[in-house]
Amino acid sequence: RMTVGKMIELLGSKAGV
């Protein structure tokens, strides 16, 4: 299962772009 940290990382990556 995906952890909250993983989701935050993905979201941060998209926001970073």
Q: What is the pLDDT of residue 17?
A: 63
Q: For residue 8, what is the DSSP state?
A: H
Sign of torsion over alpha carbons 8, 9, 11, 12? positive
Task: Name the token pair of 14.
Answer: 């998209």
Q: Is the pTM of this model over 0.85?
A: no
Q: What is the pLDDT of residue 13?
A: 87
Q: What is the pLDDT of residue 1?
A: 73
From residue 8, give the alpha-carbon distance in Å to each of 11, 12, 14: 5, 6, 10
Q: pLDDT tens-digit profile of 1-17? A: 779 989 999 998 887 76
Question: Cα angle at 15 between 14 and 17, to 5 degrees?
Answer: 65
